[in-house]
Amino acid sequence: MPEPKIAERSPAVLDLEPGDYMWCQCGRSSNQPFCDGSHRGTGLFPKQFSVDENKTVALCRCKHTGNAPFCDGTHKTV
């Protein structure tokens, strides 16, 4: 599997409304942490996730979390 680019070594803490989202898994999106289509040709693809209620989330931007798309602290060691 191709290695993702580290976009940032910190999570994006966001207030999200209910809906479906596409999390950037390649690290190349200019709309971090969301996909903008920059993954084309990388062999990596965005991960869809849903939010059922208004919620504050910490989304991974180092792209190495074990709990995608959510931050698990891995950015501290990559």
CB 51 within 8 A of CB 21: yes
Nearest to 28 by CA among 50, 48, 49, 2: 2
Summarize the confidence of residues 49-63 as an average pLDDT: 98
User: Number of folded domains in the chain?
Assistant: 1
Query: Is 55 contained in some domain?
Result: yes
pLDDT bucket at 19, cuts 50 / 70 / 90:
very high
Query: Is 66 contained in some domain?
Result: yes
**Is 0.85 surpassed by the pTM of this model?**
yes
pLDDT bucket at 2, cuts 50 / 70 / 90:
confident
CB 50 within 8 A of CB 20: yes
Summarize the confidence of residues 14-20 as an average pLDDT: 98
Q: Determine the pLDDT at residue 9.
A: 97
pLDDT digits 0-9 by tens, 61-76: 999 999 999 999 999 9
Phi first, then psi, for residue 49 (nearest 5°) are -145, 160
**Could you tell me the residue range of the domain that residue 19 belongs to?**
12-76
What is the amino acid identity at position 39? H
Q: How many other CB atoms sit within 10 Å of the CB of residue 27?
A: 22
